[in-house]
Amino acid sequence: MKTISMLIDGQPVVASQHFPVINPATGAAFAEAAAGDATHVDAAVAAARRAFAGWSARPEGERQALLHAVGAAIEAHMPELMQLVTLETGKPLNGLGGVGAGMEVGGAMAWTHVTADLALPVEVIQDNAEARVEVHRKALGVVASITPWNWPLMIAIWHVIPALRAGNTVVLKPSELTPVATARFVELANAILPPGVLNLVTGAAGSAVGPALVAHPGVAKIIFTGSTATGRKIMASAAASLKRLTLELGGNDAGIVLPDVDVKAVAEKLFAVTFHNNGQTCACLKRLYVHESIYEALCAELARLASQAVVGDGLLPETQLGPVQNAMQLAKIEEFAADARAHGGRFLCGGERLPGSGYFYAPTIVADLVEGCRLVDEEQFGPILPVIKYRDIDEAVRRANDNPNGLGGSVWSADPAAAAAIGRRLECGSVWINQHGAVQPDAPFGGIKQSGIGVGFGEHGLAEFTSLQTLKIMKS
Ligand code: NAD
């Protein structure tokens, strides 16, 4: 069985205990990872602090060149990394609509290169006979990165690369459910980066590693992607030392379908943006509002697509949807389904686990629900979609906005300009027209309301890893 070490100050670090990493397609462990503790967090933060002076002082061009080399290393190890991502997440190698481990590793590579090329220009506010006033962006120090299990490698890249690009050093803590591909990435990067610049600490479920990292006085900033519940705890802990925070939290994204769409064509797109990665993506479509005039036709089409989807082990090339990533998540989906039944939900397909030892659940479409049940009000994070009927568009917008989450939203119509005007009324950080969840490395992405604080990607995202310093030079 593969054993995953931590990596601190450029050196592999083993622990006296290990915890198993489960392949969700089989329910059996395929690797074990070092069960770190607070002493490892102390060592990693100390190493990152030592490395900070040299790394932040390095000319930008050198940091950029090293990050491009990291991108090239990811590319050179693509098949191996894809295999690891599939084994630990269950995500298919190819996946529904091409959203699978290949996209995760390819995206990790693309984000690395695009982010390496981003600039942090000096802004000149004033330059006259009296004075020159410049605004500089400075690295913060040690960044703590805490990642979830749904896109483990991609999200590690989203955290680590902009942090390093801006001149910070990093201590990364992956989810206990998916530390394997991330550990391999950190190993590859450490063959390129100076020791201490990027450190990895792993901890078992419920261990002291996450809380110790968040509370550590040597950490300047936390970037966290995960559930809103954990985000709240992290924000509370960070308050003690006023750490900077970026929180990318849960979502319950609404999509609104106008009556003028081509039902068959739009159903295929809606199915893909809802069910890829089994719905386990923060910006998957999670509540679908459909105009009453096309409601039954669209429900039937979505149910047809869900029944035909190929569910299986992600290592098989034909698999479109793999297992749910973990047993707790599967139990939550079963609870949501039971609650939906109790609230009069009409199950058009699925609604049950599939046989076998893996965590498989049949893709499920539920009609006739309204707000007031868990499947509509909360984030399901699984392969089960509530399709909700609406009569007029103001009502649909109001119901879509009547939720504590505010990550993304979408409007689907034959008239993109009219749809964009409606989309602008949605209370969320990203709006897509005739698309959902499509992120890119040069455009900001983040949540409002309880979906988070701050953004990632592009220059806006890079700026979050810096503080502003105003420099005023008197000329007379
Ligand atoms: P989670 O909150 O359970 O865990 C995330 C990470 O936090 C893990 O590494 C975990 O070990 C760590 N952690 C748990 N308790 C901690 C504590 N007290 N202190 C410090 N660290 C702690 O989330 P998850 O179940 O792994 O991820 C799924 C959630 O992530 C979903 O809600 C999803 O919407 C969200 N998500 C959001 C985005 C986004 O960009 N907004 C992207 C992906 C996932």
Same domain, 205 and 302: no
Same domain, 224 and 192: yes
Same domain, 28 and 109: yes
The reply to whether ligand 1 has any atom less than 6 angstroms from the CB of 104 is no
Task: Give residue 287 CA to ligand 1 midpoint distance, Å.
Answer: 21
The residues with which 169 forms a beta bridge, in sequence order, are 142
- The reply to whether 393 falls in a domain is yes
The reply to whether ligand 1 has any atom less than 6 angstroms from the CB of 456 is no
Rg (CA), the chain: 23
104 neighbors 435 (Cβ within 8 angstroms): no
The reply to whether ligand 1 has any atom less than 6 angstroms from the CB of 326 is no
- The reply to whether 75 falls in a domain is yes
Give, using CA atoms, the residue closest to atom 14 of ligand 1: 230
- pLDDT score for 398: 98
For residue 398, the domain's CATH number is 3.40.309.10
Same domain, 65 and 144: yes
For residue 233, the domain's CATH number is 3.40.605.10
The reply to whether ligand 1 has any atom less than 6 angstroms from the CB of 282 is yes
Q: What is the total count of domains within the chain? A: 2
Active site residue 282: yes
- The reply to whether 411 falls in a domain is yes
pTM for the whole structure: 0.97
Give, using CA atoms, the residue closest to atom 20 of ligand 1: 210
- The reply to whether 203 falls in a domain is yes
Q: Is 44 exposed, middle or buried (0-12, 13-18, 19+ CB in 10 A)?
A: buried
Same domain, 159 and 27: yes
- pLDDT score for 385: 98
**What residues make up the domain containing 301?**
254-440
**CB < 8 Å & 24+ apart, contacts of 13-17:** 13/40, 13/43, 15/40, 17/204
Same domain, 166 and 284: no
- The reply to whether 446 falls in a domain is no
Task: Give residue 145 CA to ligand 1 midpoint distance, Å.
Answer: 11
- pLDDT score for 1: 87
- The reply to whether 106 falls in a domain is yes
Give, using CA atoms, the residue closest to atom 38 of ligand 1: 282
The reply to whether ligand 1 has any atom less than 6 angstroms from the CB of 407 is yes
Same domain, 236 and 261: no
Same domain, 285 and 144: no
- pLDDT score for 127: 98
- Determine the longest span between alpha carbons in the chain, in angstroms: 80
Tokens for 468, please give them.
């502003």
Catalytic-labelled residue, pool 248, 301, 379, 464: 248
Same domain, 23 and 66: yes
Task: Give residue 178 CA to ligand 1 midpoint distance, Å.
Answer: 12
The reply to whether ligand 1 has any atom less than 6 angstroms from the CB of 200 is no
The reply to whether ligand 1 has any atom less than 6 angstroms from the CB of 176 is yes
- DSSP for 422-462? HHTTS-SSEEEES--S---TTS-B--EETTEES-BSHHHHH
Active site residue 428: no
Give, using CA atoms, the residue closest to atom 16 of ligand 1: 210
- The reply to whether 191 falls in a domain is yes
Task: Give residue 246 CA to ligand 1 midpoint distance, Å.
Answer: 13
Angle at 374 between CA 445 and CA 269, to 5 degrees: 50
Q: How many CB atoms lie within 10 A of CB 37?
A: 18
| Cα–Cα distance for residue pair 202/19, rounded to 1 Å | 10
CA nearest to 423, candidates 389, 403, 397, 387? 397
Same domain, 225 and 283: no
- pLDDT score for 476: 87
Same domain, 135 and 265: no
| Cα–Cα distance for residue pair 386/371, rounded to 1 Å | 10
The reply to whether ligand 1 has any atom less than 6 angstroms from the CB of 447 is yes
- pLDDT score for 272: 98
- The reply to whether 445 falls in a domain is no
Successive 10-residue mean pLDDT values, the chain, 476 residues: 96 97 98 98 98 97 98 98 98 95 98 97 97 98 98 98 98 98 98 98 97 98 97 96 96 98 98 98 97 98 98 97 98 98 98 96 98 98 98 98 98 98 98 98 97 97 98 96
Task: Give residue 249 CA to ligand 1 midpoint distance, Å.
Answer: 7
Same domain, 115 and 207: yes
